[in-house]
Structure 1
Amino acid sequence: MLRDEIITVFGGSGFVGRHVVRALAKAGYRVRVASRRPHLAQDLRVMGVVGQVQLVQANLRVPASVERALDGAAGVVNLVGVLNEGGRQTFTRLHALGAKTIADTAAAMGIERMIQVSAIGASDDSASRYAHTKAEGEASVLAALPQATILRPSIVFGTEDGFFNRFGAMARFVPALPLFGGGKTRFQPVFAGDVGKAVLAAFERSDARGETYELGGPGIYTFEELMRFILAEIDRPRLLLPLPWTIGKVIATISELVGALPLMPTLITNDQLVQLKSDNVVSDGAKGLSDLGIVGETVEAIVPSYLVRYRRYGQFHEREA
C-alpha cells in the first residue's frame, strides 16, 4: 500500500541513487527524483507501481527549481556529488553550496526530515578538496536542520560502481596495476543496496534524528588486497607495481591533463591521490550499519557477479586453478 508521504531524492538517477529510490519505493513511499536530466532516468519509474516514482527537473544552482522539487514533500535525500570536477560541476558548488541550498530551502518550507549522504573522511581539516567540501555540506545541512541525519559511506560497490569496474576494465589493457603508496591504504567497501536500506532506516527510526553514521561493510581490505581480488576474479595475472607518492603525483597530473581532452578517461586526480593517503574505514566508536539494523553484504558475495564481464574468455569460461 502506498503511503501519503512524498520523499524528494536529489541525485536519485545516479548509481547509489537508484538503490535509494528502490528501497524507498519498496517501503511504499512516493518518490520524487530530482535530476538535471530527468529524460535519462525514465527506467526509475518501474521501481514502483504506476505513478509512485516521479521525475522532475532540478539544478542545485537554480534555487527555484529546488523549491519546486520540494513542494509538498515530507522528507528529502541529498545524494548529489562528483568524484571529479568538470565545468560547472565543482566540489564547492555541489557538495557545499548545493547541500546548503537544499537544506535552507527545506527548512524554509517546513520540511523536517533530511538525509545527507556524505563520505567517510569528510573533514574541515582534510587536505582533499572533495573531503573538505563534503564536511562543509554536512555543516550547512545541520545548521539549517539540526535533526537531519548524516550518512558517510566508504567506497560503494555494486553493478555500476566506479571502483571495481574501473580496475577490472583497466586490467584488460595494461600489463600492471599501480599501488600508490605501496597499496597499504585500507578500505571498508559497502554495498550500494545497504546504503539504500540505511537511507530508509534513517527516515523511519526516530533515534536516527540528528545522528551521523559511517557506513562500511563487513570486511576491511588494503588497496593491494582489493587489486589481487579483482585480478583473481577476472583471471588476468598482472604485475602489481608499488609506486611512491611522488611518482603518483606525476601520474595524477598527467592523468588530469589527458582527462581534460574529449572522451578521454581520467585514471586518478591529484585530489583522489590525497584521499588515498588516509584509510577509508569506519572510525572507532562511530555508529554504523548495525545501529540502523542492517547486516551488510560482503564484497565476496556481490562483486564477482559483475566482474565476470572482464574475464579473458567470457563469463562462462572456467577460471584457471
Structure 2
Amino acid sequence: MDRNTPKLVTIFGGSGFVGNHLVQVLARQGYRIRVAVRRPDLAGDVRMFGGVGQVVPIQANLRNEASVQRAAAGSDIVINLVGIGHQAGKQSFQAVHVEGAAAVARAAKAAGATALVHLSALGVDKAAEVSAYAASKLQGEEAVLAAFPQAVIIRPSLMFGQGDGFFNLMGSLVRILPVMPLISGKTLFQPVFVGDVADAIAKAAQGAVKTGRVYELGGPDVESHKVLMQRILREAGRNPMLVSVPSGLMKFMASLMGILPIKPLITPDQVELLGVDNVVSEAAQKEKRTLAAFDIVPTSMDEILPTYMWRFRRHGEFDREGGSPVIPT
C-alpha cells in the first residue's frame, strides 16, 4: 500500500450510538473507514460523516466468522463496539459478547492489524456473579486479550449524549407516566460523555496509551440512581413521583415483560445490574487507567444534557422553567 494512502479502520458495530460519534472523529482525522454491520442497507447514514467513499458500510455478522474475517481483511486498525442489552433468538450474550468478540480479535490478528480496541462496560468484573450480561462481557475481554494480547479494552460507565439510550428513554417515560419506578436508588453511577469515549477509543487505536490493558472511563460526577433520576426530571421539566420498587418485585415484572413479543423496557438481568455500583475503581485511578491516560478532561452532564433533553419539556426548547420533581422523603 502507498505510504500516502490513509489507514483503513474497520469498526464492527459502527452504526450505533458510540459508532456514530467515533466515525465522525476518525473521518475528520482522514482515516478510511469500514462500518461492519449485519444490515449495511440500514446503515447508509454513516456515509455522510466522511467525504465521498471515505466511510463504507459492509456486511458482517459476529456469529459468522468468515464474514468477520472478510470485513477485517486489510485493516490497519480494528475496533469492536458490538454489544447487546438483552438476548433474543440467536443473539445471545455468549454468541455476541464472547464468541463474537473472540472472532473479531482473531480476524484482527489475521489481517495484520496494528491495533485492536474492544468496547466493554464498566463494572463487569464486580457484577459478573449476578449478571449474565456482565459475565459475558468479562469473558469477552479475556477472549480478546488471549487472541490479541496488545488489544486495548475500554470500559465506559453509563454513557450520555445525543442519541443515547438511557437518558432519552427515561425522558420519554417521564413525559407520559405520572409515577416512575425507582430501582436500587442508592446504587452509584459515574456517567461519561459519549464524545469523550469516542475520543479515547480513537486515541487508543492510534497508540496513545499502553496496550494489553483495561481502561475504565467515567465522568466527573458520581451520583446515586435516585439523584440521577432527579436530574433527569429537572432536565425534562416533568414532575412524576419517584416510587421505590423492591428489586425482587421488579425482577418478577421484568420476567412478565419478557413474555411479550416486543423489546423489553427492562430485563431481570438488568435489574440485577442496577444493584451494583458502576464507578471507576480505585485501582484504575491509582494506575491511571482512566480518561486521564488519554489526556481527556471529562465532560459534565451539566454541559451536555440540556442540549438534547429539552425535547421532553412540555414546550420544547421554549420551556426553560420546567417543573419541580416530586421526590419521596
Aligned residue identity for 1:285: A
Cα deviation, 1:71-122, whole Å, max 9, x if unaligned, reads: 1101100000011111221111110010011111222332231000000122
> In 2, are the aligned partners of 1:107 and 1:144 still within 8 Å (CA)?
yes
Partner residue, 2:54: 52
Q: CA deviation at 1:292?
A: 0.7
Once the two structures are superposed, the pairs formed by residues 82-121 of structure 1 within 5 Å of their partners are 82-121=84-123
Q: Distance in 2 between matches of 1:195 and 1:290?
A: 12
> Does 2:308 correspond to 1:303?
no
Cα deviation, 1:261-319, whole Å, max 9, x if unaligned, reads: 2xx44221100011111101111131111111111211111112111111123221232
Partner residue, 2:203: 201
- TM-score using structure 1 length: 0.94
Aligned residue identity for 1:143: A
> In 1, are the aligned partners of 2:197 and 2:217 still within 8 Å (CA)?
yes
Once the two structures are superposed, the pairs formed by residues 1-321 of structure 1 within 5 Å of their partners are 4-123=6-125, 125-181=128-184, 183-257=185-259, 260-261=260-261, 264-286=262-284, 287-320=289-322
Aligned residue identity for 1:5: K
Cα deviation, 1:189-233, whole Å, max 9, x if unaligned, reads: 111111110111102235421121101111111111111111111
Q: Distance in 1 between matches of 2:111 and 2:19?
A: 23
CA distance 1:314–1:206, change in 2 (3 Å)? closer
Q: Distance in 2 between matches of 1:81 and 1:253?
A: 21
Q: Distance in 2 between matches of 1:276 and 1:135?
A: 17
Identity %: 45
> In 2, are the aligned partners of 1:3 and 1:29 still within 8 Å (CA)?
no
Gaps of 5+ in 2: 324-329
> In 1, are the aligned partners of 2:209 and 2:294 still within 8 Å (CA)?
no
Q: Distance in 2 between matches of 1:247 and 1:265?
A: 20
Q: What is the SS of the residue equivalent to 1:208? A: coil
Q: Distance in 2 between matches of 1:41 and 1:309?
A: 25
Give RMSD over aligned pairs. 1.6
CA distance 1:243–1:211, change in 2 (3 Å)? same
Q: CA deviation at 1:240?
A: 0.8
Higher mean alpha-carbon deviation, 117-126 vs 235-244, is at: 117-126
Cα deviation, 1:146-165, whole Å, max 9, x if unaligned, reads: 11000000111111111111
CA distance 1:231–1:138, change in 2 (3 Å)? same
Aligned residue identity for 1:158: G
Q: What is the SS of the residue equivalent to 1:147? A: coil
Higher mean alpha-carbon deviation, 242-251 vs 212-221, is at: 242-251
- TM-score using structure 2 length: 0.92
Aligned residue identity for 1:297: T
Higher mean alpha-carbon deviation, 242-251 vs 220-229, is at: 242-251
Gaps of 5+ in 1: none
Q: CA deviation at 1:142?
A: 0.4
